[in-house]
Amino acid sequence: MSVEGKKKQSGNKEKSLQPPREKSARAYLKSLGEYEAMHKRALEDPENYWAERAKLLTWFKPWERVLDYDFIDNPKVEWFKGGKLNASYNCLDRHITGKRRNKVALIWQGDPEDDVRIWTYQMLYDRVCRFASALKKLGVRKGDRVVIYLPMIPELVVSMLACTRIGAVHVCVFAGFSTGSVQTRVQDAEAKVVITADGMFRAGRVMPLKSIMDEALKDCSSVRRVIVVNRANMPTTMRERRDLWWRDVMADRSLDANLPCAHMDAEDNLFILYTSGSTGKPKGVRHSIGGYLTYAAHTMQLVFDHREEDVHWCTADIGWVTGHTYTVYGPLLLGGTTVMFEGGPRWPDPDRFWQIVEKYRVNTFYTAPTAIRTLIREGDEWVEKYDLSSLRVLGSVGEPIGPDTWNWYRNKIGGGKLPVVDTWWQTETGGIMISPLPFATPLKPGSATLPLPGIDTTVLKEDGTPASQGEAGHLVIKRPWPGMMTGVFGDASKFKETYFSRFPGYFLSGDGVRLDEDGYHWLLGRLDDVINVSGHRFSTAEMEAAFNAHPAVAESSVVGMPHDVKGEVIYAFVHLTLEEKPTESLRADLRKWLRKEIGPIATPEYIQFVNGLPKTRSGKIMRRVLRKIVSGNVDELGDLTTLSDPGVVDELLGEWERLTGKSVLS
């Protein structure tokens, strides 16, 4: 999409809200002036700035060089070369040798209210060492990939940290994905071991996982072992010589409960996380140990103003990057207490979040706009019952949070005074990039405000020239930061092609942005073919590939349709093969197909059968036109003269109105 096509969001003349005074005295950064000074220093002397921040970690051997990079010819980035460290050591060992040994590391709240597990650092360490020892016995070696397909249960954290302890690379796959998506990821990562569960709880229901994995594994020759956690007591078929129950693995008394950790190179892979881009195939985003962990600890400390005594709760699933950085690594690196929740916001009642905040006296809370919008609809009475006075910082992530949602969050959850940090970042960036510092940055509802210290954001127009103030453009980043991805797994050229070829010398985010007169960032959503459904990132190309694989489909095109609660929903235009007739049962069948190929979260809201798609004379589908149609915005359809059959647009619009019950705006 062209940046000019993005509409301006709310006005930027908004009066800014000053950070709460009484809380700022203890904050890491206390004023805008302090932030500005730090930002300036970090830009002028990045090597020293980041070297200092890397001291948040414990290193077995110091680095020889802080940074080596190239953003133009042969894009690469290397942080802390020569340094040696270990992630699980930093999250566990260094805490248990001191006063944090019996501090609570993890508070796990199950979907059923009475299912709670509370683990100290010592307890988590013990499990991680023993499971790491088991993985080693099963033949997992440094650099091997382990796919973790688990619901939000403590074994997920144990598995991740156990991998890092022996230098294996974890590849978490969100438990909402189904067979097709799981299979692509296991295959691409060439995983040696897979960790899964029999099933999962979600909103009081039980859903299978192991059977989905079994089907996915039918065509994954690299996998030698499957370790299965019993979470749901579901009937489960175990394949001999391949499948093992977690509890049997852990019952082995010869496992080493003090397994020494591997001394890893700073630039070794810590994990791979697949994410959707503008092609049909998800990309395995690689993150390094030294750089990523430095950035996780650094942003956790500054953005949440993290305190030793804090209880931090990030509601994101660990299958996505937000859970990696702000449920697991950020809090544990700093020796904090992290809350992990298995369920969702509306079960059994839409007060679950606030009930949990009160129950554990949560101090810093981090969630997504889609969750907030869902809860706003349920009515304020669900909030008002609870004492939320423990909260100090409220965070938002995943999509633009409009001013209305922002204001409700601040007023209803934050009592009208808590700082709301709207944090912009991506799987690729590893950690938060643009965000207020809660006690330093004046806030404007709906704006992610300013880049964090040392983050060099720029706005470029289509032609690569800088956008002026108020003008929408591509958000790009001019120089590396430690949390930055280090490459695409298994595909050396993809890194350059995806992130550095559009504007050489800059990292391309794929997002649109506009800066106001104070340099505040107003994010405008994706400019590529990525859509954001309830804060989950999907590639439309991946869904089209799934549709096109169905025998009844000749051709398809998928776009995001704006939605009040979910941000966007999936709208598919499907052209059937000649023999097929459009029927309701076929529509239902296609929906089911997508759920199976990608996952329930990718269920299309609408499937419109079409006689033809708008194409250029050279046969290219004009997605721009389809996007306008589903937004009902016919005024902005733009130049249709290049269409091979302009008549198709009216036909599409008519059917869109019938399907959605909406009408065109003009």
Catalog residues that contact ligand WTA under the rule CB under 6 A: 275, 320-322, 397-400, 422-427, 448, 509-511, 523, 526, 532, 537
CB closer to ligand WTA, 398 vs 614: 398
Residues contacting residue 112 through CB under 8 Å, at least 6 positions apart = 201, 204
CB closer to ligand WTA, 401 vs 440: 401
CA distance 472 to 2: 10
Q: Within 10 Å of residue 357's Cβ, how many Cβ atoms?
A: 24
CB closer to ligand WTA, 17 vs 659: 17
Q: Is 216 strand, coil or helix? A: helix
CA distance 195 to 601: 21
Kindly list the distances between the CA atom of residue 209 and the CA atoms of 113, 179, 223, 233, 600, in Å, as whole numbers in the listed order. 22, 10, 17, 12, 13
CB closer to ligand WTA, 249 vs 523: 523
Give alpha helix (H) positions in 261-326: 289-303, 321-323
Q: For the CB of residue 640, give the shortest distance to ligand WTA in the complex, in Å.
A: 28
Q: For the CB of residue 398, give the shortest distance to ligand WTA in the complex, in Å.
A: 5
Q: Is 184 strand, coil or helix? A: helix
Best CA proximity match to 476, nearest among 487, 495, 460, 452: 460
Q: For the CB of residue 233, give the shortest distance to ligand WTA in the complex, in Å.
A: 32
Q: For the CB of residue 325, give the shortest distance to ligand WTA in the complex, in Å.
A: 8
CA distance 282 to 536: 14
Place of tokens 């039918």: 218
With beta carbons less than 8 A apart as the criterion, state whether 296 and 483 touch. yes
Q: What are phi and psi of 170, to 5 degrees?
A: -85, 145
Q: For the CB of residue 52, give the shortest distance to ligand WTA in the complex, in Å.
A: 25
Residues contacting residue 230 through CB under 8 Å, at least 6 positions apart = 197, 198, 236, 245, 246, 247
Query: What is the 8-class DSSP label of residue 326?
Result: I
Enclosing H/E stretch for 128: helix 121-137
CB closer to ligand WTA, 152 vs 158: 152
Q: For the CB of residue 16, give the shortest distance to ligand WTA in the complex, in Å.
A: 17
CB closer to ligand WTA, 262 vs 314: 314
Q: For the CB of residue 514, give the shortest distance to ligand WTA in the complex, in Å.
A: 12
Helix axes 289-303, 46-53, angle to 10 degrees: 80
CB closer to ligand WTA, 474 vs 550: 474
Q: For the CB of residue 95, give the shortest distance to ligand WTA in the complex, in Å.
A: 26
CB closer to ligand WTA, 265 vs 399: 399
* Half-sphere exposure (Cβ direction) of 416: Cα atoms closer than 13 Å: 0
Q: For the CB of residue 411, give the shortest distance to ligand WTA in the complex, in Å.
A: 19
CB closer to ligand WTA, 176 vs 400: 400
CB closer to ligand WTA, 167 vs 398: 398
CA distance 209 to 147: 13
Q: For the CB of residue 422, give the shortest distance to ligand WTA in the complex, in Å.
A: 5
Q: For the CB of residue 453, give the shortest distance to ligand WTA in the complex, in Å.
A: 18
CA distance 84 to 264: 5
Q: For the CB of residue 397, give the shortest distance to ligand WTA in the complex, in Å.
A: 5
DSSP character string of 365-425? EEE-HHHHHHHHHH-THHHHTS--TT--EEEEESS---HHHHHHIIIIISTTTS-EEEEB-
| Sheet strands (E) in 462-621 | 473-477, 487-488, 507-515, 521-526, 530-533, 536-539, 553-563, 567-576, 606-609
Helix axes 648-660, 623-630, angle to 10 degrees: 40
CB closer to ligand WTA, 206 vs 601: 601
Q: For the CB of residue 539, give the shortest distance to ligand WTA in the complex, in Å.
A: 11
CB closer to ligand WTA, 284 vs 335: 284
Q: For the CB of residue 391, give the shortest distance to ligand WTA in the complex, in Å.
A: 19
CA distance 231 to 222: 26
CB closer to ligand WTA, 511 vs 597: 511
CB closer to ligand WTA, 230 vs 278: 278
Q: For the CB of residue 345, give the shortest distance to ligand WTA in the complex, in Å.
A: 18
With beta carbons less than 8 A apart as the criterion, state whether 310 and 393 touch. no
CA 334, distance to chain mean position in Å, is 21
CB closer to ligand WTA, 14 vs 70: 14
Strand pairing category for 193-197 and 169-172? unpaired
CA distance 60 to 86: 8
Instruction: Mark 187-223 as b/e (b = at least 16 C-beta within 10 Å).
Output: bbbbbbbbbbbbbbbbeeeebbbbbbbbebbeebebb
Q: Is 591 strand, coil or helix? A: helix
Place of tokens 């999962």: 200
CB closer to ligand WTA, 165 vs 444: 444
CB closer to ligand WTA, 192 vs 324: 324
Q: For the CB of residue 247, give the shortest distance to ligand WTA in the complex, in Å.
A: 33
Cα pseudo-dihedral 477, 500, 146, 105, rounded to 10: 0
Nearest-CB residue for ligand WTA: 427
CA distance 43 to 206: 50
Strand pairing category for 536-539 and 530-533? antiparallel
Q: For the CB of residue 208, give the shortest distance to ligand WTA in the complex, in Å.
A: 25
